[in-house]
């Protein structure tokens, strides 16, 4: 080992010297095409209503603000005759029919189908001039507090958010007897089915997913992993803390003001060249984020360490800071909206796959409205409910349309 740790480090420079990567648009398809990929769990004998038509109603109803299975059926009943005809219903199915179907669907396949549909319709903004475009996907879990399985345990879901579009690409149900860690690989597989390739994608996740198996799984797919390092990896955390951060210059600094507080975030990133490098598979850079928050009462300071599997030339401090902040988007733009706008925690769906299915429909509603330019999801839901014909037209169209 070098006598001075600083000589065994390469500091990540705060400059950009690569041209923007091209962005390609996916093919556009209608919702019925996407829903046709979902297997029908019903006995083929005695089926009165096509699966795709029932699922179309469920999607439209939640896009218009329906927050429960009963509300989905109410939305259909409240439509005028012409609107029902456009959806393919000459008579209205009972609430029990809708409930039985939605609680028996394969929730993971439904999430992949709807995530793929939204992705093909999304109009990605071109990358900012002189900045590289990187596909960043945030991974996080959420417990449905009102939903429980037979033994009383709560339902937990692990989701992957495309931070560029606000679309939940995939969602998998965590085994009631396990935790998020075994669900990570199935989630990667589900995301791959939606986007087609994971090459070059950056996955950002919290410290729970700082797992050697995760790092190898991501690397095997040609993707990259960026995670926080905390007490669940004590040796790695000790190594990162021991780096001579005081001798390393700040790579990026941002300042924010709002809600009665001021916050400063500084980023330092280094590439250790000591034998063995970073004690985590495929990790290329060690990162330290320092957050200083000042309110009228006091000033607090927090330091968090991260690793990323991209080298310094491909992940500069400003980009690292941006990706770290994107990890919070899944909490702020999806989970918080489901809790506050859809009142998810008070919804006590318990039967079969019902909790995961209704969560997927809420994800779809949020992603749909965000890709149409709405930031206030509650207002967008109310607007869609007032304009049911426009909503049906937009959803059944083969190309992006705002309602």
DSSP letter string, 66-80: --SHHHHHHHHHHS-
Q: Give the CA count within 13 Å in the CB-facing half-sphere of 337.
A: 26
pLDDT score recorded for residue 228? 95
CA–CA dist 303, 324 (Å, integer): 13
* 89 has pLDDT over 90: no
* 129 has pLDDT over 50: no
Token pair recorded at residue 79: 């439509």
Model confidence band, residue 146 (pLDDT cutoffs 50, 70, 90)? confident
Nearest to 157 by CA among 361, 343, 311: 361
DSSP E strand boundaries for 298-361: 299-308
pLDDT score recorded for residue 127? 44
Rg (C-alpha) for the chain, rounded Å, is: 23
Q: For residue 293, what is the enclosing H or E element?
A: strand 285-294
Model confidence band, residue 346 (pLDDT cutoffs 50, 70, 90)? confident
- With pLDDT > 90 as the criterion, what percentage of the chain qualifies? 59
- With pLDDT > 70 as the criterion, what percentage of the chain qualifies? 87
Using one digit for the tens of pLDDT, what is the confidence trace for 41-77?
A: 988 887 888 898 899 999 999 999 999 999 999 999 9
Q: What is the mean pLDDT of residues 150-160?
A: 83
Answer for the pair 307, 212: CB distance below 8 angstroms, yes or no: no
Residue ranges in 122-179 assigned as alpha helix (H): none
- Output the average pLDDT for the chain: 85
pLDDT score recorded for residue 342? 93
CA–CA dist 127, 106 (Å, integer): 36
Using one digit for the tens of pLDDT, what is the confidence trace for 291-311?
A: 998 887 788 999 999 999 999
Using one digit for the tens of pLDDT, what is the confidence trace for 252-275?
A: 999 888 777 888 999 999 998 877
- Do the strands 167-173 and 299-308 form a parallel or antiparallel pair, or are they unpaired? unpaired
Model confidence band, residue 287 (pLDDT cutoffs 50, 70, 90)? very high
């Amino acid at each position: 080992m070098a006598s001075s740790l600083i000589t065994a480090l390469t500091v990540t420079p705060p400059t950009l010297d690569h041209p923007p990567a091209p962005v390609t648009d996916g093919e556009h398809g209608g919702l019925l095409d996407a829903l046709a990929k979902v297997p029908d769990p019903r006995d083929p004998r005695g089926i009165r209503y096509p699966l795709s038509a029932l699922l179309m109603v469920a999607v439209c109803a939640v896009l218009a603000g329906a927050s429960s299975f009963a509300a989905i059926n109410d939305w259909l009943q409240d439509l005028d005759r012409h609107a029902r005809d456009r959806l393919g219903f000459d008579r209205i199915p009972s609430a029990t029919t809708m409930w039985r179907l939605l609680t028996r669907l394969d929730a993971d396949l439904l999430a992949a189908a709807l995530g793929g549909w939204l992705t093909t319709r999304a109009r990605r903004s071109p990358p900012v001039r002189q900045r590289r475009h990187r596909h960043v996907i945030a991974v996080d879990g959420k417990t449905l507090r009102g939903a429980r399985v037979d033994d009383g345990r709560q339902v937990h879901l692990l989701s992957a958010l495309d931070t560029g579009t606000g679309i939940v690409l995939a969602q998998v149900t965590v085994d009631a007897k396990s935790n998020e860690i075994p669900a990570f690989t199935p989630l990667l597989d589900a995301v791959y089915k939606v986007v087609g390739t994971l090459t070059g994608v950056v996955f950002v996740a919290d410290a729970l997913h700082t797992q050697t198996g995760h790092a190898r799984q991501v690397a095997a797919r040609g993707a990259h992993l960026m995670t926080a390092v905390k007490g669940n990896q004590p040796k790695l955390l000790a190594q990162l803390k021991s780096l001579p951060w005081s001798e390393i210059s700040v790579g990026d600094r941002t300042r924010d003001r709002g809600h009665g507080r001021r916050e400063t975030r500084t980023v330092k990133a280094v590439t250790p060249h000591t034998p063995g490098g970073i004690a985590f598979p495929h990790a290329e850079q060690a990162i330290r984020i320092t957050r200083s928050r000042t309110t009228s009462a006091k000033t607090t300071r927090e330091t968090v360490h991260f690793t990323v599997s991209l080298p310094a030339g491909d992940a500069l401090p400003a980009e690292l800071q941006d990706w770290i902040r994107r990890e919070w988007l899944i909490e702020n733009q999806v989970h918080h909206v489901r809790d506050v706008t859809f009142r998810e925690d008070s919804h006590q769906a318990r039967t079969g796959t019902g909790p995961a299915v209704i969560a997927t429909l809420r994800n779809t509603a949020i992603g749909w409205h965000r890709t149409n330019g709405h930031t206030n999801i509650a207002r967008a839901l109310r607007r869609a409910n007032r304009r049911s014909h426009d909503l049906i037209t937009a959803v059944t169209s083969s190309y992006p349309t705002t309602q």
